[in-house]
Structure 1
Amino acid sequence: MLGEVLHVFRRRPRLRSFVDCTLGFAAGHSSAVIEMHRELEVYVGLDVDPVAHEKGRARIEGLLKGSEGLKAYTHLRNFKYIKSVLAGIDEDLLKEGVDGVLMDLGMSSMQVDRSERGFSVLGEGPLDMRMNPQASLKAEDILNSWPEDEVGRILREYGEESNWRSLQRKIVQARADGGLRSTSELVKLIRSSSTGFGGRQGWIKTATRVFQALRIAVNDELQTLEDALYACFDSLSSGGRLAVISFHSLEDRIVKKTFLDIIGNGDENGNFENFKGWNKDETDVGEELWSKQRVEGKHGIVLTKRPITPSEEEEKLNCRCRSAKLRVIQKV
């Protein structure tokens, strides 16, 4: 969704400062923003994965050779610490705020393809799943030592897995035989719990949901995301924009609800409907036809009633992007 992201930040007359909260291995979004906005004065890139941070930092340093006057900083930090990172760079930067912030919550293919990280359903590796290798909690700890009810809750709430009771029971039973120690052992257990319908795709979908649930729990992703959304919005300048790309319903629900809470609109379930402030006049949004309806609050404007999704052409080029949803909020 590179084109859509660039469009979000193109609307400002000048993009002086920009933060990429999820730098990534290729630093793709950051590179494109830097190349498009030659007026950029301060760039900050964050990533909690040391390998991704190192590779992304090298890419950014390569771009600096052709960007006079641009000060670039990369930090190995979780995006929930954006305010302390900005304050460490320059107190005035945090006080005045930054013009643009991007959060891309997707897993990098390089992370998934590294079997030693334990993210892949199809690879052989340890039950790790830590985004930050320095963190103490691993997926193996949850599977082999957490209370049975907690294991079930994770599968049910974070994986939205309908077969969670059977999986919970088998995971706990496996502890009597030494527990689960590898991704292949967990996948074997999941396959044995499948009903037999759906063939290979059936158990892969179940395994994907289970792996997602464990990854979310290991990295405390949902609470971290919510905290980070508030921190990122606080870090914006007047008129600054925060864009968030999510890849599953749990993330998108949190983004939608938190955006409404930030601006002071929305009901307890994070619904937009039946609230005053909807702007349905397309002429008010100029070229931004993807923002046909906006909801305005005291502190900001949600520019996307419905999330922006990838085009059919992009889905054909990259099947992994088909579940992506982009939401945008602007500070008043």
Structure 2
Amino acid sequence: MISFLSAVRVGVRSHALVADYRSISTAKIPKKKEKQKAKVAVAALLKKEKRRTRSDREFEQIDSVRDQPHVPVMLGEVTDVFSKPICSFVDCTLGAAGHSSAIIESHPELRVFVGMDVDPLAYDVACSRIHALSNSHARSDLKVCTFLKNFKHIKSVLSEVDQSILNSGVDGMLMDLGMSSMQVNNPQRGFSVLGNGPLDMRMDPQASLKAEDILNSWPDTEVGRVLRDYGEESNWKLLQNKILKARLHGGLHSTSELVDLIRDMTPARRGGRQGWIKTATRVFQALRIAVNDELKTLEDSLRACFDCLAPGGRLAVISFHSLEDRIVKQTFLKIIECNKEYGDRDDEERGSRNLQKKGSDSDEKEAWIRQSLQGLNGTILTKRPITPSEEEEKLNSRCRSAKLRVIQKA
């Protein structure tokens, strides 16, 4: 088995890798076949770490966001993406306005700022911060517009702000697809695996569908599809049957009831507490995606946002799980090569080889751009997504799965 010291020698220091290694190396492994599986798992983790395009930017916290209820992920990297002068900017996912505050502070030339969020609590926090920041600068020429809406409504929002902006295009746009600490830490929202609350999981409290409805009312085949496709859970069939049996005894109505069901069906030898938490996290992710129709909304919104960019304008997207990142990657490829459809992995790889490759010595001359892909309609400035620096991961463990991708309009 690969030792922990060997992992350190190849430069692997992330908390996630160390935790996964320890859970593998300290577990009781009664069979030779399982020992081999453990070796393969550790080797895969090492290979994945070596392939990561980690940010080499020095981690720093900007003063205006130090005391916010949510720590913005990859804040320095986002400000680097939008380091050039911009006159208009749209934050499609305001959250606690951490990224937006930094953008407004660093761009005195900014004339129009548009912020959107579907969560009323996050929206109220963001609005107060943004308006206080804009007023403190005494900049009467900065137009600030905020909307309690989903980013799928981007075109109608911009037309409401100013039709000329929609026609000319926006210089910069940001989509942070992660959940804020305000949402996760509030048990009543139903997002947390560790806190007891109702099975809600609605990003928009006005929406009708709840996680409870899916678990207790949807057909068994649909419940299984959600667990399999959105949670990428290998034991989806067993989970589906357990959920159907729970219906016979009144159903599932709280997060603790769902967690108890998952914990009871997770073998103790599968990593103990860490094992059932990982399963529960995948299940909660699957239900949240289904409740909010996140994946379909994301693909449509990415296209709409790109349409709203000005020539040379940039769209930056931070995703937090493989399903989101895959959609962002494939949609970006389709956007810049609009005449080519990518139906499967092979098509995507063939299409990527046909794109013009640009390295860090390109005309952009920006240090954070390492390798990009140029197409007919624009350029993907991140051939591989940028991931948080090791220092940021140590200080904010929730950021470790974040991936930043950027596209620029031709």
| Partner of residue 189, structure 1 | 261
1:295 Cα shift?
1.4
Q: Which of 274, 278, 282 is equivalent to 2:356?
A: 278
TM-score by length of 1: 0.96
Q: Which of 332, 338, 343 is equivalent to 1:268?
A: 343
Q: Which of 215, 226, 234 is equivalent to 2:288?
A: 215
CA contact (8 A) 1:257 1:266 kept: no
Q: Which of 79, 84, 87 is equivalent to 1:16?
A: 87
1:146 Cα shift?
0.2
| Partner of residue 68, structure 2 | none
- Worse-superposed segment, 276-285 or 80-89: 276-285
1:272 Cα shift?
4.9
Q: Which of 120, 123, 126 is equivalent to 2:195?
A: 123
| Partner of residue 210, structure 2 | 138
CA distance in 2, matches of 1:146, 1:161: 18
Identical-residue share of aligned pairs (%): 67
Q: Which of 222, 234, 239 is equivalent to 1:150?
A: 222
CA distance in 2, matches of 1:84, 1:124: 38
CA contact (8 A) 1:280 1:293 kept: yes
Is there any run of 5+ residues in structure 2 with no aligned partner, and where?
1-73
1:185 Cα shift?
0.4
Please state whether the residue corresponding to 1:280 is helix, strand or coil: strand
Q: Which of 107, 132, 153 is equivalent to 1:81?
A: 153
Please state whether the residue corresponding to 2:353 is helix, strand or coil: coil
CA contact (8 A) 1:18 1:100 kept: yes
1:266 Cα shift?
7.3
Q: Does structure 1 residue 240 correspond to structure 2 residue 313?
A: yes
CA contact (8 A) 1:266 1:272 kept: no
Q: Deviations over 1:17-56 (max 9, x none)?
A: 00000001x2000000000000000000000001110110
CA distance in 1, matches of 2:272, 2:374: 48
Alignment: residue pair count: 329
| Partner of residue 309, structure 1 | 387
CA distance in 1, matches of 2:211, 2:309: 35
| Partner of residue 252, structure 2 | 180
Q: Deviations over 1:214-239 (max 9, x none)?
A: 00000000001101100100010000
Q: Please give the residue correspondences for 1:60-99 in structure 2 after superposition, counting only pairs within 5 Å.
A: 60-65=130-135, 66-68=137-139, 69-99=141-171
CA contact (8 A) 2:196 2:256 kept: yes
Q: Could you list the structure 1 runs, at least 4 aligned residues long, displaced by more than 6 angstroms after superposition.
A: none
1:277 Cα shift?
3.0
Q: Which of 232, 257, 274 is equivalent to 1:201?
A: 274
CA contact (8 A) 2:358 2:373 kept: no
Please state whether the residue corresponding to 1:284 is helix, strand or coil: coil
| Partner of residue 31, structure 1 | 101
Please state whether the residue corresponding to 2:248 is helix, strand or coil: helix
Is there any run of 5+ residues in structure 1 with no aligned partner, and where?
none
Q: Deviations over 1:280-327 (max 9, x none)?
A: 343214442432222111111111110001001111111110100000
Q: Which amino acid aligns with 2:324?
A: E
- Structure 1 residues 272, 17: closer, same or farther in 2, change over 3 A? farther
| Partner of residue 112, structure 1 | 184
Q: Which amino acid aligns with 1:64?
A: S
Greater Rg by CA? 2
CA distance in 1, matches of 2:232, 2:342: 23
Root-mean-square deviation (Å): 1.3
CA distance in 2, matches of 1:96, 1:182: 48
